[in-house]
């Protein structure tokens, strides 16, 4: 059979789902994508695609997608703000009316209450250009740094630790280099489901190249089947486990003395802090057999090329920064940085979380991780954006986890959300909903009315990845083209065009002495402006990335890109060891709440579900399930498919059980994609004091079997709907 259709065409672009950044060929007829494939020549994915990339783009055509601007029929009042999923509660308006309304209300609040009253959520699903412009709007027009995005809920702990220890938070090596590794550690990552194409490369490294894997995880994830060692730790004991490995390496003189002497500092202080992490002590706090600690330490230390891969199981913790430091210490101790097949590799969750961070969608840093409280940096951006001297705010802004908690009179009054869904991604959702109700103005810019957009006063319909041009930066720093393949549905617009149009209207009302540039004709002009301000993007130009992309840093127009970092030096000179102490999770189990809840993703879905639950992915995995170990299920005679109520100190959900040894005794697991059984109604909003990231991965819960009639009706899910 042939897949040829008359008048069909193929458009090449980049996948909109996870951080791998697979190359896609969209097969199109009459503006309908009827098939998705990938070229075997792709450097990133060699023709492989996961189920989402190959079959999950049908959300583009979902009948519940919003394609015309909307304004709420009944004006909302702070304290009485309600959710509106039903279109009967909105009225369609022109773009002029929607943007005039948004500009009027934003300027009114800003002129009355100042920049501290304004905040924005940027978007890791949007392009680099979209994110650059939104942070520019917030900073240059409203003079505030209150802008952040989901990195605060994903890898903030990793970012803070890497910046402090090395000077750069990016993934140090290319994912495909794993085939060059002798040994690699996977921790806090269900790679086969969250980054499946990288998992294929990891499996090939084992099967075809003889690499050995050490998996450190509370769940028996799929990669355990390929591992030499599995260390089934208790949630939150990462510092103990990896410091225990460091203890063994030091005691047995397996560390790389030459690398440590030449390229690091504070080793002696670090060495002293590792004394207490004996294998016996680590076993007592982590549950991992002491011999496994010793075996893992020897295996990793004796590798010629050792690499470490981790995801949110490390960073989403009240001590996420320390967790990441424990991995960094291990890489420095063994000299596994600056070479092919080595490195510190935090796997990014969303398709452009790396690029959104690079683009400055963070409250502490301008594009390129340049500090907002650095005077020279502020002057640089004032000149570039044509702002009067001293005009930009030198104070750090509010993080994602702080914005909603500052919603009150005298605090944040206006919130702009581009493509994010905090009412699914925030911890302790019951409290987050109360904060959302106190807003004076909410503007949502998205594809669908999700749990957050349903609170909005005005809804601005954006286009999908297939309907616009731009760039994404994947997990291993590769900047790749996103090409418009089909015409925008209805009256939707690209995010960057919406932002520019709104910014021009705001400027007319504020009438500043100097005005920034907002009349871009194409995203390539935006990326060029960003490249002039961000040294690592200076050589990234559209004409250079049409085929395979470039890995940052790209220092000039002739620079070939950088597959792996730190070959000769670290950004801060010498890398720093950090001494550590072990602290338990913020909310350990007790008699009333005897189990620990762990949360995460499944293969078929993606983050808050706004895209995949509008796709036929929702038929593949239609409802939330709670994984329970047979030992824990036995106490209440729980069987697979029974209805279970899971309760924490903050809320409760009802969902079906799956009894499995995939999770260890004492730990239950719930995916966080399902609004009708939202895991984040349960999770703990306690924060890492440095990174301000919540402890999503561990909180105390109890379970009880209830009637099947108590299960939430699937049809009640507000966002469901097909073509």
pLDDT in tens, 248-306: 999 999 999 999 999 999 999 999 999 999 999 999 999 999 999 999 999 999 999 99
595-716, what's its fold? Barwin-like endoglucanases (2.40.40)
Please give the pLDDT value at position 156: 83
- Percent of the chain exceeding pLDDT 90 equals 89
Q: Which residues pair with 72 in a beta bridge?
A: 90
- In this prediction, residues 37-45 reach a mean pLDDT of 93
Is residue 530 a contact partner of residue 132, using CB atoms and an 8 Å limit? yes
Higher pLDDT, 717 or 320: 320
Cβ-proximal residues to 433 (8 Å cutoff; 6+ apart), any chain = 423
Q: Which residues pair with 309 in a beta bridge?
A: 186, 345
Please give the pLDDT value at position 284: 98
Residue 312 pLDDT class (50, 70, 90 cuts): confident
Please give the pLDDT value at position 513: 67
- In this prediction, residues 547-571 reach a mean pLDDT of 95
Please give the pLDDT value at position 646: 97
Listed range (33-37, 391-395, 599-603) with the worst mean pLDDT = 599-603
- In this prediction, residues 96-123 reach a mean pLDDT of 98
pLDDT at 685 over 70: yes
Pairing of strands 343-346, 306-310: parallel
Cβ-proximal residues to 196 (8 Å cutoff; 6+ apart), any chain = 20, 50, 603
Please give the pLDDT value at position 154: 75
- In this prediction, residues 475-495 reach a mean pLDDT of 97
Any idea how long the chain is?
723
Strand runs labelled E in 507-612: 550-551, 575-576, 595-600
Please give the pLDDT value at position 723: 30
Instruction: Print burial letters for 399-410: b (CB count within 10 Å at least 16), e (below 16).
Output: bbbbbbbbbeee
Helices H, strands E: what count in the chain? 22, 30
- In this prediction, residues 578-589 reach a mean pLDDT of 96
- Percent of the chain exceeding pLDDT 70 equals 98
Is residue 511 a contact partner of residue 54, using CB atoms and an 8 Å limit? no
What are the tens digits of pLDDT across the range 435-464?
Answer: 999 999 999 999 999 999 999 999 999 999
d(CA 52, CA 48): 12
C-alpha to C-alpha distances, 353 to 357, 359, 446, 530, 536, nearest whole angstrom:
6, 10, 17, 17, 16
Average pLDDT, the chain: 94
- In this prediction, residues 559-581 reach a mean pLDDT of 96
- In this prediction, residues 160-185 reach a mean pLDDT of 94
Listed range (77-86, 446-455, 492-501) with the worst mean pLDDT = 77-86
- What is the CATH class of 156-347? alpha beta
pLDDT at 511 over 90: no
Q: What pTM does this model have?
A: 0.95
Residue 335 pLDDT class (50, 70, 90 cuts): very high
Please give the pLDDT value at position 514: 65
Domain assignments of the chain as residue spans, ordered by start = 70-150+352-551, 156-347, 595-716
- In this prediction, residues 511-518 reach a mean pLDDT of 75
Listed range (105-109, 170-174, 603-607, 636-640) with the worst mean pLDDT = 603-607
Please give the pLDDT value at position 155: 81
Residue 606 pLDDT class (50, 70, 90 cuts): confident
Pairing of strands 550-551, 643-647: unpaired
Please give the pLDDT value at position 721: 38
Please give the pLDDT value at position 714: 61
pLDDT at 722 over 60: no
- What is the CATH class of 70-150+352-551? alpha beta
> DSSP code of 348?
P
- Tell me the backbone φ, ψ of residue 666, rounded to 5 degrees: 90, -5
Tokens 């030992």 map to which residue?
631
pLDDT at 719 over 60: no
């Amino acid at each position: 059979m042939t897949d040829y259709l008359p008048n069909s065409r193929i458009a090449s672009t980049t996948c909109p789902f996870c951080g791998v950044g697979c190359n896609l060929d969209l097969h199109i007829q009459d503006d309908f994508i009827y098939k998705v494939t990938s070229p075997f020549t792709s450097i990133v994915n060699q023709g492989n695609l996961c189920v989402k990339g190959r079959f999950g783009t049908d959300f583009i055509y979902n009948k519940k997608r919003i394609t015309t601007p909307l304004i709420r029929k009944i004006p909302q009042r702070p304290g009485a703000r309600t959710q509106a999923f039903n279109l009967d509660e909105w009225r369609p308006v022109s773009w002029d009316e929607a943007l005039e309304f948004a500009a009027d209300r934003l300027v009114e609040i800003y002129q009355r209450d100042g920049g501290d009253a304004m905040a924005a959520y940027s978007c890791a699903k949007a392009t680099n250009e979209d994110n650059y412009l939104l942070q520019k709007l917030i900073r240059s027009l409203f003079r505030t740094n209150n802008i952040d995005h989901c990195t605060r809920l994903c890898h903030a702990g990793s970012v803070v630790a890497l910046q402090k220890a090395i000077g750069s938070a990016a993934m140090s090596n290319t994912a495909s280099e794993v085939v060059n590794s002798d040994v690699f550690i996977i921790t806090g990552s269900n790679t086969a489901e969250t980054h499946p194409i990288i998992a294929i490369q990891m499996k090939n490294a084992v099967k075809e190249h003889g690499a050995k894997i050490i998996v450190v995880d509370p769940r028996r994830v799929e990669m355990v089947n390929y591992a030499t060692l599995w260390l089934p730790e208790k949630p939150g004991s990462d510092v103990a486990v990896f410091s225990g490995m460091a203890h063994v390496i030091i005691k047995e003189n397996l560390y790389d003395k030459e690398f440590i002497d030449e390229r690091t500092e504070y080793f002696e202080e670090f060495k002293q802090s590792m004394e207490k992490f004996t294998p016996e002590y680590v076993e007592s706090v982590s549950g991992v057999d002491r011999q496994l600690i010793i075996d893992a330490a020897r295996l990793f230390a004796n590798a010629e090329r050792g690499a470490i891969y981790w995801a949110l199981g490390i960073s989403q913790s009240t001590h996420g920064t320390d967790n990441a430091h424990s991995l960094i210490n291990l890489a420095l101790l063994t000299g596994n940085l600056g070479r092919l097949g080595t490195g510190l590799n935090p796997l990014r969750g969303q398709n452009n979380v790396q690029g959104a961070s690079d683009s400055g969608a963070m409250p502490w840093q301008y594009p390129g991780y340049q500090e907002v409280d650095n005077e020279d940096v502020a002057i640089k951006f004032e000149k570039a954006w044509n702002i009067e001297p001293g005009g930009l705010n030198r104070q750090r802004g509010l993080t994602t986890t702080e914005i909603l908690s500052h919603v009150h009179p005298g605090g944040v009054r206006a919130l702009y959300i581009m493509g994010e869904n905090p009412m699914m991604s925030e911890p302790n959702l019951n409290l987050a909903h109360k904060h959302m109700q106190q807003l004076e103005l909410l503007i949502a810019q998205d594809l669908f009315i999700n749990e957050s957009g349903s609170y909005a006063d005005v809804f601005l319909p954006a286009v999908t990845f297939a309907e616009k041009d731009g760039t994404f930066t994947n997990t291993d720093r590769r900047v790749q083209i996103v090409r418009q393949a089909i015409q925008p549905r209805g009256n939707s617009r690209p995010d960057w065009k919406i932002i520019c149009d709104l910014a021009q209207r705001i400027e007319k009302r504020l009438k500043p002495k100097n005005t920034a540039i907002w009349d871009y004709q194409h995203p390539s002009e935006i990326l060029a402006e960003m490249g002039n301000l961000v040294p690592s993007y200076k050589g990234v130009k559209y004409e250079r990335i049409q085929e395979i992309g470039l890995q940052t840093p790209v220092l000039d127009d002739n620079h070939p890109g950088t597959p792996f970092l730190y070959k000769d030096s670290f950004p801060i000179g010498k890398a720093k060891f950090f001494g550590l102490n072990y602290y338990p999770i913020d909310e350990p189990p007790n008699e009333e709440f005897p189990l620990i809840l762990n949360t995460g993703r499944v293969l078929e879905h993606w983050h808050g579900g706004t895209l995949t639950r509008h796709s036929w992915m929702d038929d593949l995995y239609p409802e939330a399930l709670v994984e329970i170990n047979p030992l824990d299920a036995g106490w209440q005679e729980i069987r697979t498919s029974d209805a279970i109520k899971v309760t924490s100190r903050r809320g409760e959900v009802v969902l079906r059980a799956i009894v499995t040894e995939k999770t260890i005794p004492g730990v239950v697991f719930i995916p966080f994609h399902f609004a009708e059984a939202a895991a984040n109604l349960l999770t703990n909003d306690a924060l890492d004091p440095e990174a301000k990231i919540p402890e999503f991965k561990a909180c105390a819960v109890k379970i009880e079997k209830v009637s099947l009639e108590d299960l939430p009706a699937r049809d009640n899910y507000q966002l469901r709907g097909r073509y």
